[in-house]
Structure 1
Amino acid sequence: MTYNRIVRDFNRVEQGWAGVLVQERQILRTLPALFEQVSSYQQYERDIQERLTKMRTAFDRISNERIPSEADGAALQEAQRAGEEVVRELRLTVENYPELKFSEVVRSYMRELSKLEDNLAAALRLFNAQVAAFNSRIETFPSNLVNAISPCRSRIQVFFDSEASSSFEYRPNP
């Protein structure tokens, strides 16, 4: 029974590490897609802004004519056509994407990234707890005796972030 507990705890450690890898893989898959989405919205908004600026400039040029009867009819038609295109495209886009603000996309991107990081941190905490349980199992009596005479399992190191640790002055084992 003791040997079976050692094996079970070791398998839980392996499963915990697999969970960490799944979360890391999810981050690696999601980040490029999120970045691409943010970039495409940014480019879309930049294009719309440029088109709106050109349209506004064309209308300003026409409306700044001193005598409206002398205004260029072709310029007016061109400005009107450009305006109709922008409005039509915006309507279609708004119907498909009710919230077009780039800042909301960035906030969404940051929320998703935060959620992925939280999931990874949770997976690492679970892994470390499983490692601690396994290490305690193989180091305490009578499991340590059973482990010594059976196919021996060695102590496993918990995940350790040296960068994060270096920012703390507290050391549990001075």
Structure 2
Amino acid sequence: MRSINLLQTVLDESGEARIKSIARYIEEHISSNWETVLVDHRDKLQKAYGEAGDMAYGTYLNLLFLPVHRQFKEAGLNPEPRFPGDFDISREWGNEQQDNQQRWMWSTIYGPHQEPIGTIVTVVYHDHTQFQVPRQPEILALKEVGKEAVVESLSALSPEFARALEFTAEYELYLQSLE
């Protein structure tokens, strides 16, 4: 993969083109590796799902994004939080059967001089009835940074995102329902 060259191109760009190039780099990595990670780590991921349920998707995403983190570090790029983003403020929705869900998480990308470049949103498709990633994760590039600006932008892009609750609010309601 042309990782170093593409990242060098990213560092040479400015403005909105820069965050879009970063998104293309990540999309290329995901496209080339999302299924391979599932196959190569099948037993580990199935075991993790059996023991910890949906947390296995976090394990999968960590494995998928590890090479991206290495390349970003070498290029002086810093995603905050680490990819795919902060689970606590992520939003999820899907079908009633719980087998076609999507979760949207995001990370702000900072350049070599800690300048904010933009935000990368990771859309993860998953199943709550078994460990399954039914399709390739998607990447969205936003020029916006900061939680409020990102939420506003994503809400304009997706009515489902706008209606979904942050994980912490959703989990709080769940705990209240158990009382």
Do they superpose with TM above 0.5? no
- Shorter-chain-normalised TM-score: which range? under 0.3
More helix by share: 1
Task: Name which structure has the greater RCO, CA cutoff 8 Å, separation 6+.
Answer: 1
**TM-score, normalised with respect to structure 2:** 0.24
